[in-house]
Amino acid sequence: MDGLLLDSERYMWNISMDIAAKQQGFTLTDEFHHSIMGLDKKNSIKKYYEEFGPTFDCDLFYETIEKENRKNEK
C-alpha cells in the first residue's frame, strides 16, 4: 500500500481472479484466496490444480486476469 486507506489493487486482483475462474466454471472462495496469498506463481498453480483438477486451464486463467486488470486501469 502507498498510504491509502484502502488497498484497491488487491481487491481488483481478487475480482479479476474470480472472473477468470468463473469463465472456466469454477468458483474461488475467500478461503482459497487466503490459501494462495504470498505464494509464487509456481506454487499457486499447484494449488489451482489441487483444487480444480487437471481440466483447469492456468494459461487461460492468467491471460484473463491480465485482460481484466488492463480494463480496470482505464
DSSP string, 5-38: SS-HHHHHHHHHHHHHHHHTT----HHHHHHHTT
pLDDT(54) > 50: yes
* 14: confidence class by pLDDT, cuts 50, 70, 90: confident
Average pLDDT over residues 8-24: 84
Cβ atoms of residues 53 and 24 within 8 Å: no
Is this prediction's pTM over 0.85? no
Share of the chain above pLDDT 70, in %: 81
* 8: confidence class by pLDDT, cuts 50, 70, 90: low
Share of the chain above pLDDT 90, in %: 62
